[in-house]
Structure 1
Amino acid sequence: MDVTSDEVEMETAPVSADELVEAMRQAADDAGFDLEPEQLEVARRLGSLAVGEASVPAHLYLWGAAGRGKTWLLDAYFQALPTERKRRVHFHSFFRALHRSIHEHRTAAAEAARATGEPGAGARAAAGAVANAVDRAVEDLLDEVDLVLFDEFHVHDPGDGTLMIRLLEALFSRDVSLITSSNYPPSGLLPDPVYHHIFEPGIAVIEANMTVVELAGDTDHRRSSAVQRRQGFSRGTWMLTGQEADDELADLGLPRPDAADAVTMAISGHEFRASAARGGVLWFTSAELLERPTSVGDYLAWAAEYDRWVLDALPAPEHLTREARARFVHLIDALCDLDVELHVIAATDRETFMTAETLGRGGFARDAFRTRSRLALLRTVG
């Protein structure tokens, strides 16, 4: 299985905890801000990790509310580590590759077993192929590294939760340090009470093997600070439906498509109708992208080809199904993680969209804090 990751090649050299902390402090200074006391404490905890030096690997689980600087700190730490033996892994991309590998292994194993004619052989072989696929994924992930940085760790799907338990157990059996960030404490993973018990063994594994550190603080920096350098996802906009939005998009080189631009996108055994797919631009209506059975895997696959997206005709949240609202959250997660430019044309402003009282319980309650924080990166128009 191919692992999608960011790797930095540097000459290996000894470095002290103080030097690592100073490197992170200097990175903040270069970016135009000072580390807050809570961030500095996390920097010290990161600097004290003995990566590649201790007989027992050190693992750290960093969690905290959205926008507190977790990803920035981990990126700065990753950059400061003077070693080639490290790998930063994108959560969504890794799981997409893992699911693809599992499907391939299960299909091949089942077909080979059925060819023997033995009753039930295909089903047994398919089940065994899942464990083989996870083991292979771990081997690919940990090949020649002392540290894996797994950013934006979360578990919302019970099937992914089961796979994650296998993955964590395999990771902790190797001499490799794991550092991960999350918006949730371990006990808050897979929070749906209907399924939470499925991941309780995974929570126990995390708490038994990892040092759990909270990045506290009252400020969501995405929502309180102006974006100084707009690129990728933060180049996007949230616009109210109307001529002003169309004019703004045209100025950005995104003219509204006409009927002749529509194209069928075939993926995952389904077909979806995009308003346009041209020159790195993907334009979908909300009805087609959110109300149809799209998945995170679809978003990741399309994002590999299209780095500018338009989500058109997004209605007030009460006019979306619960499934569509969940897909919206997953879409924002995927495009923000991959730093893909997104322009939303909506019937309401983004704050009203995320906090509408008409939704009642179960609207965006589970993920509202993270999604609102990420949407704050988008410039508002209209």
Structure 2
Amino acid sequence: MPKIEQLSRRTPKVSVDELLAGLHPSPRFGEVSFASYRPDPAQPSQAAAVKALQHFAAAVDRPKPKGLKKLFGGAKPESRAGIYLDGGFGVGKTHLLASLWHAVDGPKAFGTFVEYTNLVGALSFRKTVEALSSYRLVCIDEFELDDPGDTVLMSRLMRELADAGVKLAATSNTLPGSLGDGRFAAVDFQREIQVLADQFDVIRVDGEDYRHRGLPAAPEPLSNHDLKRRLHDFDGKVVAADEFSDLVNHLEGVHPSRYRQFLDGVDAVAWHNVHTISEQAVALRFVVLADRLYDKDVPIIASGVPFDQLFTPEMMSGGYMKKYFRAVSRLTALAREGQAGEAAA
């Protein structure tokens, strides 16, 4: 029998040290390396990106010049403060960024754009700067420009970290299947963060979205009767089974910076009566939960509406559409894993 718990009853308490300790690649990218990245021979920019990141990693690990070497320039020229991977959705940018993190000695941090903004919300801006200024490398995955306030916040954080000598690496966030209109482009990054633009090397990573190469359609939602029956497929595991409305309401009282710990020990989730989320603030919180579930590769079984109806049509075509498309893609992959036994790509 599975052990049934409820996320809607969890209220994790997380210390500052625990929050910082959580800034590392997810289990999905826990052991990746430059060697395990397979560049597409038809896309030479992928192999070029590997070489650029290896060079950047060496620069991060290179001791800073001291004494006469610093005075007379005996050391090799310093690389730029940051490196930015620009490219389509699903071309391996997170794999490359995690490989960079693994290749560099610590202290170092790896998190998504949202995780860093949530960290600032949990600690305050000044305490976040103080905590990260001693790091050698800070990696920011899925840099987003859809919220002007968060963009200004992150640009200020990155500027202060760069001034403190921290090396920075970032990837873009891009719509599934979109390599043209609507894509987060390097010119947007440079326009929005003008102070930092000349400190970053922009590396283009071209390629086909591997997550959308002939994948089967998402499974149909289960009936509530079948959902209860399928719980037995997780014999000996911990399943968080919740009424969807209870979970959505509960998330309002759990800071998104704690969502990693919120899911500790959970092997699968079961959601009863999934419904369309109509409030923007609620939807954005749920996007963060979807990201953390995907990071931990937690399979999902669910009844109610299919995940492509989780957000309203207005949300799927509005200013935060990139977040919602990503969430639907990831939740669908986890549902295929939970309901059809297919590994989430």
What does residue 229 of structure 2 align with?
247
Contact map agreement 1:285 1:312 (CA 8 A) in 2: yes
State the distance in 1 between where 2:300 and 2:210 align.
21
Q: How many residues align?
A: 282
What does residue 305 of structure 2 align with?
348
Residue type at the aligned position of 1:153: F
Contact map agreement 1:150 1:180 (CA 8 A) in 2: yes
Alignment of 1:20-59 (within 5 A): 24=34, 26-28=35-37, 37=43, 38-49=45-56, 51-52=59-60, 53=62, 54-58=76-80, 59=82
The counterpart of 1:212, out of the listed 195, 199, 202, is: 202
Alignment of 1:1-382 (within 5 A): 1-2=16-17, 3-4=20-21, 5-6=23-24, 24=34, 26-28=35-37, 37=43, 38-49=45-56, 51-52=59-60, 53=62, 54-58=76-80, 59-79=82-102, 81=103, 83-85=104-106, 87-91=108-112, 92-102=114-124, 130-131=125-126, 133-140=127-134, 142=135, 145=136, 147-154=137-144, 157=147, 159-183=149-173, 184-185=184-185, 203-217=193-207, 219-224=208-213, 239-253=221-235, 280-291=238-249, 293-294=252-253, 295-304=255-264, 306=266, 308-315=268-275, 317=276, 320-337=278-295, 339-351=296-308, 353=310, 361-362=317-318, 365-380=321-336, 381=339
- Residue 221 of structure 1, CA deviation: 1.4
State the distance in 1 between where 2:310 and 2:319 align.
10
- Residue 313 of structure 1, CA deviation: 1.6
With normalisation by structure 1, the TM-score equals: 0.60
What does residue 112 of structure 1 align with?
none
**1:32-89 Cα shifts (integer Å, max 9, x gaps):** x86652422321332343513454333211133321111112223444x3x5246242
Q: RMSD value over aligned CA atoms?
A: 3.8
SS at match of 2:198: helix
SS at match of 1:39: helix
Residue type at the aligned position of 1:56: E
* Identity across matched positions, percent: 22
Structure 1 unaligned residues grouped into runs of 5+: 8-22, 103-129, 190-198, 228-236, 255-278
State the distance in 2 between where 1:364 and 1:76 align.
28
What does residue 3 of structure 2 align with?
none
Q: 1:363 to 1:322 in 2, by over 3 A?
A: farther
Contact map agreement 2:155 2:196 (CA 8 A) in 1: no
Which structure has more RCO (C-alpha within 8 Å, separation ≥ 6)?
Answer: 2
Structure 2 unaligned residues grouped into runs of 5+: 1-15, 26-32, 63-75, 174-183, 341-345
State the distance in 2 between where 1:90 and 1:363 align.
23
- Residue 305 of structure 1, CA deviation: 5.5
